[in-house]
Amino acid sequence: MFLGIDLGTSGIKLIIIDEKGEIAGETRESYPSYGALENHWEQKPEDWIDALLKAAKALRSKTSEKIWGEILSIGLSAQMPTMVILGEGGQTIGNAIVWCDNRAEGMGKKLIDLWGESRHFMKSGVRLDGRYIAPMYLWVRENMPAVFPEKHFVLSAKDYIFYKLCKEIVTDPSTASGYGLYNINSGAWDEELCKEADISLGVLPIIADSTSGEFYLKKDIGELLGFKNRIRVVQGTADSVAGVLGTGAVNEGDVCAICGTSTTIIGVSPENRLRAENKFFITPLSRTGTFGMEADILSTGNTGKWLAEKFGVTVEELSELAAKASLGSDGVRFYPYLAGGEQSVLWDGSLTGKIAGLNIRNGREHIARAYYEGICYEIKRCIDAFRNENFNVKKVYVSGPVSKDKFYMQLVTDILGYRCVASCVDNASAYGAAMMAAIGVGSMDWDFTKHESLKRDKLYLPRPKINEAYEELYKKYISLGPGGRFVF
C-alpha cells in the first residue's frame, strides 16, 4: 500500500492505493485561511499538521490496521507557490503566504525590471508576478524585518510538510519552479538571479527528483501517524504536476485540465519547448526529462460558486440551469476574469470579468451557460497556444468535480474538438502523490495502462456539427474580448 498526501488551498487530502492503482481509502480535512480583512491570504502551517494528523486518524479508522500496516511509502503534493519561512530551529516565522495573496505584486515588478523579463523567462520558463515565492520572500524581508531571523530557510508548503516528516530541507524541480529562481535548462537554482536579487543560495532547499532520494519518516511523527514500520517518503511535486500524473496523462500529446477553484491546463512533452515568444510557461513534470506546457485560469470553480450564490442555487443546479439554454447562450458571453493575476495566456492582471451580449430575452439560464462556455473557451485558448508550438494534441484528461458533470464534460468536448476523458479519480493530485510513492520504491512503473482504476475513466467524443458551430462562436468570443482580435 502507498499513501498520497495533497495539501490543497482549503484542505488536505489523503489517499491509499495498492500496487495496481486501486484505491483502498481516502479522506479529507479542511483548515482556515486568515488575513481577509487586510486583503491578505495566509494560513498557519501548524493547522496543516493538525489536519494531517486528524485525516490520518480518520483514514485508519475507515480502512483497517492491516491496510495501514502495509503502507510502504508516502508521496507528497501541495498548493503552489505558497511560502513558509522556517527558523534555524524548525519554528515557522509568521504565517504561510498562500499562492493567491497579491501583496508582493510590486516586488514582482521590481524583480522583472532587475532581471529583464525576456532574460528571466528564458532562464526559468515562468512569467513572474508577485505570486511566486521569490517576490513573496523579498516582500516579507523588506516589510517585516523585526521578525526575520538571521538564519532561516525559504520553503514551499510541500517542502514544509516534507521537513516535518523527514527533518530534511528538500524540494523537487516542479516546486522549485514556483520560486522564480529555478533554471529550467540546468535543473538547478540560478546563481545569477539569486545574486542579483540578494537571495542567498543557503536559504533555499536542495533539489532532488520527485521520486528519488533515501528519505524516511522520522520516528516521532511516524508514531503520531500510527506507523510502526519504517516508511520511505518521496518529495513528490507541485499539486498541478501530481494531478497530471494522477489522471494518467503521461504520454506526448496528452493534455490535462485540472479543474477546481482555478483551472490548470498542462500539455505533456518529452522536450523543453521554451521559446521567447511562448504565451505559456514551462514546468518540469514528475517523470525526469518530461516537461509541461502550462497555463492557468485563476477563476473557474470559484466563479461558478460566486454565480450560483448570486442566483440562489447550488453549483449542481447551476449546471442544470445552463443545460436549459441553447448552444451559444443566445449571444451572451461571459469573460471569467474575476480573480486578477494571469488569465490563461493573456498575461494581463488588470483584466476584470464581464458579461456581454445581454438582451431583454435572456434569463439566468443564458448567463449560466455563458459562464460554462467562457471557461471552455479559455481552456481552448490555452491549448491553441500549445498547438502554435507544433504540439499535436491527442487527448484531453479532465479532473476535478466537473469531471462528474455530464453536461460540462460534453460541452468542453464539443468546444475543444478533442476526445476528452473524465477522470474517475476524485483527488487526482493526492492520487498522483500516492503513485509517486509507489514508483519511488519500485512497486510501479510509468506504464499506466496497467492501472485498473484508470480504466474506469469515461471517454467523451466531440459531435462534429456542434463543434463546427462552436468554432465560429469561439472566434467571436476571442475577437470581441480583450485585445479585440482573433489571435490563434
Q: Please provide the distance, in angstroms rounded to a whole number, between the alpha carbons at the two ends of the chain.
A: 46
* Cα-only R_g, the chain: 22
Q: Does residue 436 belong to any structural domain of this protein? A: no
Q: What is the pLDDT along the chain (488 residues), one digit of tens a residue?
A: 999 999 998 899 999 999 988 999 999 999 999 987 677 899 999 999 999 999 999 999 999 889 999 999 999 999 999 999 999 889 999 999 998 898 999 999 999 999 999 999 999 999 998 999 999 999 999 998 877 788 999 999 999 999 999 999 999 999 999 999 999 999 999 999 999 999 999 999 999 999 988 899 999 999 999 998 999 999 999 999 999 999 888 889 999 998 988 899 999 999 898 988 888 999 999 998 899 999 988 889 989 999 999 999 999 999 999 999 999 999 999 999 987 665 678 888 788 899 999 999 999 999 999 999 999 999 999 999 999 988 999 999 999 889 999 999 999 999 999 999 998 888 889 999 999 999 999 998 876 655 655 667 899 999 999 999 999 999 999 999 886 554 43
Q: How far apart are CA 399 and CA 244, in angstroms?
A: 9
Q: Does residue 467 belong to any structural domain of this protein? A: no
Tell me the three cell numbers of residue 176.
522549485
Interstrand relation of 152-156 and 83-87 (parallel, antiparallel or unpaired):
antiparallel
Give whole-number Cα distances, 139 to 136, 156, 275, in Å. 5, 16, 30
- For the chain, what is the domain count? 1
Q: Does residue 368 belong to any structural domain of this protein? A: no
DSSP string, 243-292: HHHHHT--STTEEEEEESSSEEEEEEESS----TT-SSEEEE-SSTT-EE
Q: Which domain holds residue 194?
A: 2-240
- In 363-454, beta strands by DSSP E: 395-399, 420-422
Q: How far apart are CA 204 and CA 211, in angstroms?
A: 20
Q: Does residue 323 belong to any structural domain of this protein? A: no
How far out from the chain centre does Cα 99 lie? Answer: 10
Judged by DSSP in three states, 29 sits in: strand
Please report, as a single letter, which amino acid is at residue 381.
R
Tell me the three cell numbers of residue 164.
516535518
Burial class, 200, CB count within 10 angstroms (exposed 0-12 / middle 13-18 / buried 19+): exposed
Q: Does residue 214 belong to any structural domain of this protein? A: yes
Q: What angle do CA 60, 239, 151 make, to 5 degrees?
A: 95
Interstrand relation of 291-297 and 263-269 (parallel, antiparallel or unpaired):
antiparallel
Q: Does residue 176 belong to any structural domain of this protein? A: yes
Q: Does residue 357 belong to any structural domain of this protein? A: no
341 φ/ψ sector (left φ>0, alpha ψ -120 to 50, else beta): left
Burial class, 330, CB count within 10 angstroms (exposed 0-12 / middle 13-18 / buried 19+): middle
Judged by DSSP in three states, 13 sits in: strand
- Of 276, 335, 338, the C-alpha closest to 306 is 338
- What pTM value is reported for the model? 0.88
Q: Does residue 93 belong to any structural domain of this protein? A: yes
CATH number at residue 57: 3.30.420.40
Tell me the three cell numbers of residue 395.
487527448
